[in-house]
A and B are shown apart, each in its own frame.
Chain A
């Protein structure tokens, strides 16, 4: 069953002072099945971040539709959007977006607090998650006291604590060193094995090689997609690199 369906998504930005229009997306369609790990790749300016923002309901498309569990997210009224994001989606950002005013524990609790959950329930949910992500003993520290990798794992815990249908990640390894990046991707792989659906935007071939399927976006459209289909990760990485080369070399400009 498709958990996410993106249908003919278009996004046009009017340039300032009414000049030329910028077409960020010209018609993107794809779907993500329950339990899939999908990576979206493309060069800077290819429209991948715009795509993620629309799926995350941060932004509205000019045309097309986005269905989550068969329901259009574009129909959700403004005042329900925040609660919708909180309940159905989890986010991991490139720059972590942890709040310096909170300890890691409270950062992770934030969406649950906003949802009005009881603190006993919150603690009950946190324990297995913190153990799995290896941050159990630094929960009392503040974001400025821990490393980038630890920050990103805390951000992952924050995204997962609401038990979201879809985990969305925007360049999650972008600000991490290679060891931390590898560790994070192994976490994602494991989460996916346990049934978590993941949609990740990245331009790192290594990061994308952990995904089950990679979509390539070029000039606002899905250009190609490749499946890992049980292949070795090294082989997958090689094919991604080849496709990227094709993408930048053989394009129409």
Chain B
């Protein structure tokens, strides 16, 4: 009978505090749904049979880890708001004669109820929407096969384990908070004001240094390979810097504003500045978290969108011609061409832009105007040397060259000098080409590549300086016709090359846009799915933090605004002061997040170059689009939660 009483008390507490518990429950259900869906996809056996989805599934395994850790953090964090707001109520129970173990019992039952409801609701939604998400994923990775999205017991168990851990942690922390407090403290804890924080110049300077360091790393990163290692260091520095600066910097700034009498003593500024100073320490942490979450959403979504929308660009960068072969020997060149045309006829496509040419490849370090074959510096270039004859068969326009003249092409940037020294041999650059038949001018690339065209073999030999470099023959062509026919051609053509002994004996490798497209769409689609998925998760937790911030501050502020109305402030003035304060507080994180994202652009675009996304404009557009879309969602979230705040303050 008595246990029943506590159960009823726990249930009625949850319902009575629904303004606080309902969003918590929804957040719990939301994270459960997301975790269940991603676990289910990671465990889905059907996906193993689809080509290229092994990688997608390994992405989902990574995703489930991130979602698990994040879910625990979010629930723990939100619970902090909940329990702080309820200390008074729990204190009242203690004063009314409930022992601590009874309070603990009520809390445990509350946790059990809300956990069961949240996880149960989430699993149900996961089973319903998981299928939808799964279809979305399959669509994004370009698979049309109808795969079943089963309800799997292991996925349910795994999801439940994560949330049992989360709720156990929450319960333990709540019980500790109650256990430590005396009844009178519990009664007063909600009222205890924050002392005015001191300006910590040390923290401000440390924050500035840390943020500056992170920004510096992101801005001055040289190469894509470097970018990966540096990125995480930069992220950590920026997170640390954001936290420190939001704390110390905001307090310093607000105090500066307060010191300026002509600014401070205006109705709007007066109330908002003082209000913000008053709870800046708590505020700053919340705002820094919101800011970091915003940045995470922007970075995750904009890079994956850029990858997904850039698949064709990245394929084009890898394949100047749609079908490419590399051979050791000139011998079977004729039969390769015949084979290509025969196969094309069988698949009703036409061979177009056929190009072939022999060249040598080597790595050399470019210092100023000198190429050094033994260089190992970061400025190392991939170089292709070829005679004019090969340049012509590759599709270049013939030019008369002297023995000491070269044509030069670089894929990134301009060479810009009128001569080049190869080891000890000097050549005059007759023309720096703007385009090259088998390469693309790129805004950035993993590797800097240089093509040099010599007058003839003799001139080229002179540039080798007595060394022996790998020689190979490039064959490449485009196809005219439908995509399906071209794809069928490419797999058939590859098989026929393997079957032809003469070709097979000298074939180094062959590849085509058509063979690679599926893999790239699957990979980049997988990334996009994960990016959007995590973006949604971060967004969910961000809205949650904003909501609880608004509610807890609304409750605190309502008393202040009642007093202000008593000493002669009209409702309109109250509303204006509220707007001024709330707008500053909520748009600051967004503005800083956008700044972070802009600064991250160089390092992000260099990392994208690893995936052959070389077009800076493309990446910039994807980033701006993401920022615009996100800002709209942020504004909507702001208006919805601001209404809650306003209602609390003016009731």
Contact = CB atoms under 8 A, between A and B. Distances in A.
Interface of A: 58, 79, 81-83, 85-87, 91, 93, 97-102, 106, 109-111, 113-119, 122, 142, 144, 158, 162
A106 B266 CA distance: 12
B563 A82 contact: no
Interface string B553-568: 0000000100111111
A87 B560 CA distance: 21
B265 A113 contact: yes
A86 B564 CA distance: 11
A101 B563 CA distance: 12
B572 A79 contact: yes
B264 to A, nearest CB: 8
A114 B265 contact: no
A226 to B, nearest CB: 30
B491 interface: no
28 contacts: A79-B570, A81-B570, A82-B573, A86-B567, A86-B569, A87-B568, A91-B566, A91-B567, A93-B566, A99-B274, A99-B560, A99-B563, A100-B193, A101-B275, A101-B277, A101-B278, A101-B560, A106-B274, A109-B270, A110-B270, A110-B564, A110-B567, A111-B567, A114-B267, A114-B573, A118-B265, A119-B262, A119-B264
Contacts of B264: 119
Contacts of A109: 265, 270
Closest 7 CB pairs of A and B: A86-B568, A82-B570, A101-B278, A119-B265, A119-B261, A101-B274, A85-B568
A144 B192 CA distance: 10
Contacts of A93: 566
B193 A114 contact: no
A111 B566 CA distance: 10
Interface of B: 193, 196, 261-262, 264-267, 270, 274-275, 277-278, 560, 563-573
A97 B563 contact: yes
Nearest to B193: A100
B570 A144 contact: no
A82 B266 contact: no
A80 B265 CA distance: 22
A82 B569 contact: yes
Given A82-B573, A106-B270, A119-B261, A99 B566 contact: no
Contacts of A86: 567-569
B275 A58 contact: no
Contacts of B565: 82
A153 to B, nearest CB: 16
Contacts of B277: 101
A124 to B, nearest CB: 13
Contacts of A81: 570
Contact of B566 (A79, A97, A118): A97
A29 to B, nearest CB: 26
A117 B267 CA distance: 10
A116 B270 CA distance: 11
Nearest to B269: A113
A111 B568 contact: yes
Nearest to A112: B265
B580 to A, nearest CB: 13
A162 B563 CA distance: 17
B274 A58 contact: no
Nearest to A80: B570
Given A79-B572, A110-B567, A114-B573, A100 B267 contact: no
A99 B558 CA distance: 12
Given A101-B275, A101-B560, A106-B274, A116 B267 contact: yes
Nearest to A115: B568
Nearest to A89: B568
B278 A100 contact: yes
Given A82-B569, A86-B569, A119-B262, 13 more contacts: A82-B568, A82-B570, A82-B571, A82-B573, A87-B568, A91-B567, A99-B274, A101-B277, A110-B567, A113-B267, A114-B567, A114-B568, A114-B573
Which of A86, A114, A116 is packed against the most chain B CB atoms within 10 Å?
A114
Contacts of B266: 113, 116
A164 B15 CA distance: 48
A24 B277 CA distance: 42
Contacts of A100: 193, 278
Contacts of A82: 565, 568-571, 573
A83 B571 CA distance: 11
A91 to B, nearest CB: 6
A113 B196 contact: no
Contacts of B278: 100-101
